[in-house]
Chains A and B, each alone.
Chain A
């Protein structure tokens, strides 16, 4: 389980990815969060305001 061989690492990555995808498919809210921010992710200076969604509420 702690093997650092490439195959073992890739297998662990794959398993974790599969679990995450199952969770994603069962959570529309999570899909929305990722969808809105996915292409803004990274060190790139994305204009985050362009993805602004109407806020839920304010005082």
Chain B
């Protein structure tokens, strides 16, 4: 199925991600002007962002449940309004402590309602199952693209106006997401998705959770995505410094990192396409093995001006492909009805992995005084994640099989 035949909802979801994640990626350039305005140093702003990230993860499963219950359209709309309110209130904050509520809690809530979990949950309900991973891959790639697309605009705003005005412009941009959401109406699930063989009423949220929690494969998916979060945090935290330590010229290191970004976008889509064409478990295993081989080569072979970009591209290509494959597996096994709930929980596990990865990475570096153990740890973890996906029973649950019969 051509991507241009995907329903309008898919493209509205992509637009939502570009705005939501793009604005979020721009917050870093606001730290200095905001800190200077309040004359507080960077702690307040940094803590507000850290709180935002934490609440983003904590809110996610519950916002996912709400989306499955009341529909992604309402959740994205309300989330966009919370996001806009958080940005606007930050712009008029009289005290720096306000930012914990505005930039931290409100924007964190807004992000959880306008990010991948909700959008993918909506996309799953309108795209045929055999094309879901490709749609997820496209959505993931577009979200990654959005993170780069908005930053030049943010820098231009800060150059032309004060940071308060820039945030207010962003708040208005958030309100546009309400417009996107209005086109994201999802029809009621088909009977094959909601009734069991006895023709009983639609599966409840509690039943969906019980079904998933009793499925061993669901826990393997959790473990694999935990490793992904832990794993990628290592790389994300240490890659720029590692390149700098190798004595590469700044321009060469920048090109290598730019390759990470570009290949991340294409890789997300590629692995999604593969997930529709081949068994998602084996594609996921292949992805993690590829990651381990790339990092192994990265650590053992000399990083030169010639190979830096190659390494960057290879690592980038194996970066976010896990998103369409993981969410695609959850959709394949449990159906689309409660995807935001079930994938939201998997995402929370991923964020816990990221948190531990950031913490453990620093501890390991401080203990050994070197990046080498970190890189070897990522190789081993990638292989563990590859193995974890093999025993997953990826067949749709009996409820779906009986309904389709």
Contacts and interface: CB of A to CB of B under 8 A. Distances in A.
B1 A4 contact: yes
Nearest to B250: A35
A37 B147 contact: yes
A20 B262 contact: yes
A9 to B, nearest CB: 6
Interface string A22-40: 0010001011111111111
A49 B45 CA distance: 9
B77 interface: no
Given A13-B266, A39-B235, A58 B158 contact: yes
Given A49-B49, A54-B32, A4 B266 contact: no
A35 B116 contact: no
A16 B261 CA distance: 15
Contacts of A2: 2
Contact of A58 (B148, B162, B240, B312): B162
A42 B264 contact: yes
B257 interface: yes
A41 B147 contact: yes
Interface size class of A (residues with CB under 8 A): 35 or more
A44 B257 contact: no
Contact of A35 (B159, B261, B263): B261
A4 B134 CA distance: 12
A31 B255 contact: yes
Q: Looking at chain A's contact residues, is the secondary structure mostly helix, strand, loop, or mixed?
A: helix
Given A31-B255, A43-B116, A37 B148 contact: yes
A2 to B, nearest CB: 6
Contact of B254 (A13, A31, A39, A49): A31
B265 to A, nearest CB: 8
Contacts, number: 149
Contacts of A41: 25, 144, 147-148, 261, 264, 319-320
Given A45-B53, A46-B236, A38 B316 contact: yes
Contacts of A55: 29-30, 32-33, 155, 158-159
Interface string B242-255: 00000000010111
Interface residues of B, number: 70
A43 B262 contact: no
Nearest to A58: B33
Contacts of A13: 266, 269-270
Q: Is the interface of B mostly helix, strand, loop or mixed?
A: helix
B233 A47 contact: no
Contact of B2 (A4, A28, A33, A45): A4
A59 B28 contact: no
B347 A43 contact: yes
Interface string B22-44: 00111111111100100000100
Interface string B263-278: 1101001100100010
| Most interface-central of A10, A35, A40, A56 (chain B CB within 10 A) | A35
B28 A49 contact: yes
Interface in B60-89: none
A51 B30 CA distance: 11
A16 B270 CA distance: 12
Given A38-B316, A39-B236, A56-B159, A21 B262 contact: yes
Contacts of A57: 158-159
A44 B253 CA distance: 22
Nearest to B42: A49
B203 to A, nearest CB: 27
Given A53-B29, A56-B159, A59-B162, A48 B258 contact: no
B123 to A, nearest CB: 14
Contacts of B261: 34-35, 37-38, 41
15 contacts: A4-B1, A17-B263, A28-B251, A33-B152, A34-B148, A35-B254, A36-B151, A40-B236, A41-B320, A50-B28, A55-B32, A55-B155, A55-B159, A57-B158, A58-B158
Given A31-B258, A35-B258, A43-B143, 6 more contacts: A31-B251, A39-B239, A41-B147, A42-B264, A49-B45, A53-B29
Q: Which 9 A-B pairs have the closest CB atoms?
A: A38-B261, A34-B258, A34-B261, A45-B53, A35-B257, A35-B254, A52-B28, A56-B159, A48-B28
